[in-house]
Amino acid sequence: MSDPSATSVVAGEAAVPAIWDNRRMSTDSRPIVVRNGLVVDGTGAPGRVADIAIARGVITEVGPGLDTTGAEVIDADGLVVTPGFVDIHTHFDGQATWDPMLAPSSLHGVTSVAMGNCGVGFAPAKPTPEQHDWLIGMLEGVEDIPGTALAEGLPWDWETFPDYLDALARRHYAVDVGTHVVHAPLRAYVMGERGANPNEAPTADELRAMARAVQDGVRAGALGFTTSRTVAHRTRDGAPLGTRHSTADELLALVGAMAETGSGVVQMISDAYLSEDDEFALDEMALMRAMVEHSRRPLSMTVQQVVQVPDRWREMVAWVARCVADGLDMRTQVAPRPVGVLQGLTASVNPVALCPSYREIAGLPLPERVAALKDPQRRARIVAEHPSATGSLEGLAHTVFTGFDKLFPMEEPVDYEPPASSSVAARAAARGVSPVEETIDLMVDADGHQLLILTLFNYAKGNLDDVREMLLSPNSVIGLGDAGAHCGAISDASFPTTSLALWTKRTTGQGPLPLELMVHHLTQRTTRQVGWLDRGVLAAGFRADVNVIDLDALGANRPRIVHDLPAGGRRLMQSAQGYVRTIKSGTVTFADGAHTGALPGRLVRGAQPAPS
């Protein structure tokens, strides 16, 4: 592991332990009263001014003028009080074995996270170097998590999935964590090398073994089962996941096995939302419906807007509505803002990375690269080389390196609905220079730390009106933030902050959305999706997970690259403004954006009943 004196960066410039410290795990048993705030309780009901009393980790009373004798009083006058946010789509599967903070999520009002999404993770795992290396390569490829960090950080104190849950249960966190049984490692564990091949189906005996493992995992406390059917998910070596072409027989057997336990949910990513092949999309939707009909378990699937088929998402929303009307528990899992690739000299990719005159300096330390890019002759060569260096690219790759009309500099705080006039293409046209030259000018700003965002999904029309429509669907649930993943290219763990800061104060397009709806999205709606009914509502008997927020000040700070993973691994870190207090299980974990040192979070095993 890393040096025990190492620190990781969180909100502001506060530093916190990057490894476990048992001295910092105590919780405060003193009662708390959050006084006189605008209580938005998570149910979607109108906000009201009230006090919230907390004792022994739960909310004991909500109402005006509560007794504060012997309690710590948090003055929330003029502030908004919400339940702690629940992020149901993270990839902290590796990070949770070495990092108690689970930032950036914990910096954005999140008090509970669900891991093991998209069918990828680290359990079960044969205790062999070969299988460990394959799993690391899978997560490095699919989720852009540095393999060196995983190789050094993962303790591998598990083999089966129940073992993995036990390993997580030995640890303490700033947030609660739960996880799913994941399809790709399960295939590799049972089928060996054949499990990594998308064209291989399990034998009857192998499928029975996989089904038993799903049951064992859910009975041990998994939230459910997840899988991936997208061509975009590839290992470090570029191979598609073994789950890519899983047959209906395989998937129905696995979700059916979970159904026998009487609990668990299904989460999956399919290319139905982005395929230009109408027949393929219909087949994928029919498969997802069959999985729910067979298992009678809730299912959520990724739905985003893509340029190729900008209204496919609308077709899928209507299809889910029909399924729900037929009594099937299905949800579209959506993002509250554009999803894109962050680019820059410190990121995993930048628009000139393929140009020979940039590749000559790509390995230099950042200050030297910045100096080299300021040389007029080198800049001129890069501008001249860019068309030929990118000319053979197609599809997504072509957009990543040439989509200057979709590329925007990230400001402070970040504007996640930037106007077309601020794109790199528009800025270059206004200056009368090449978009490549404008890109270089932007990337060398801030001593080379300036980042740009390429809006790939949810921004086909240059605004968020379609996303607004997604969020208004009663069958949508906010997810897809991928916290813990895409360490050098995506920073979407800040979705909760955007959900409130952008949508409750939006002045463009079709306007804002109600505060009560957006809080409901981040709390009760997400908790219901994974079966955590003991949280997400501010009412007596519910878990005392609470945010006190200065809504006027709320915003996501500009992401930046830090090197605080094991082995000095790189990741994007994004903090926020406006979180006055975050309370987890009755303990203040963050005060004005700084971690208090408390780690009251634990593993949550499976569904949790609502208070009686």
> 0.85 cut: is pTM over it?
yes
User: What confidence tier does 10 reach under pLDDT thresholds 50, 70, 90?
Assistant: very low
User: What confidence tier does 232 reach under pLDDT thresholds 50, 70, 90?
Assistant: confident
Rounded average pLDDT over 379-399: 95
CA distances from 338 to 341, 406, 418, 463 (A): 10, 11, 10, 9
Is pLDDT of 28 > 70? Answer: no
pLDDT above 90 as % of the chain: 90
Query: CA 586, CA 111: separation in Å to the nearest integer?
Result: 11
Residue 240: predicted pLDDT: 86
Position with higher pLDDT, 142 vs 3: 142
Amino acid identity at 506 = R
Position with higher pLDDT, 580 vs 9: 580
Check: CB of residue 243 under 8 Å from CB of residue 191: no
Check: CB of residue 66 under 8 Å from CB of residue 33: yes
CB neighbour burial string for 90-118, b if at least 16 within 10 angstroms, e if fewer: bbbbbbbbbbbbbbbbbbbbbbbbbbbbb
Average pLDDT over all residues of the chain: 94
Model pLDDT for residues 64-117, shown as the tens digit of each residue: 999 999 999 999 999 999 999 999 999 999 999 999 999 999 999 999 999 999
Q: For residue 232, what are its two tokens?
A: 């975009």
Residue 425: predicted pLDDT: 98
Is pLDDT of 16 > 60? Answer: no
Residue 18: predicted pLDDT: 39
Model pLDDT for residues 244-260, shown as the tens digit of each residue: 999 999 999 999 999 88
Query: CA 348, CA 344: separation in Å to the nearest integer?
Result: 8
Preceding omega of 600 cis (within 30 degrees of 0): no
Model pLDDT for residues 523-578, shown as the tens digit of each residue: 999 999 999 999 999 999 999 999 999 999 999 999 999 999 999 999 999 999 99
Position with higher pLDDT, 362 vs 14: 362
Query: CA 443, CA 409: separation in Å to the nearest integer?
Result: 9
Model pLDDT for residues 103-162, shown as the tens digit of each residue: 999 999 999 999 999 999 999 999 999 999 999 999 998 888 999 999 999 999 999 999
Query: CA 555, CA 537: separation in Å to the nearest integer?
Result: 23
Phi, psi dihedral angles at 586 (to 5 degrees): 85, 5
Domains for the chain: give ranges and CATH numbers. Answer: 1-337+458-612 (3.20.20.140), 341-456 (no CATH)
Rounded average pLDDT over 201-218: 98
Model pLDDT for residues 439-472, shown as the tens digit of each residue: 999 999 999 999 999 999 999 999 999 999 999 9
Phi, psi dihedral angles at 535 (to 5 degrees): -145, 175
| Residue whose C-alpha is closest to residue 353's, from 411, 410, 397 | 397
CA distances from 174 to 100, 483, 596 (A): 6, 15, 10
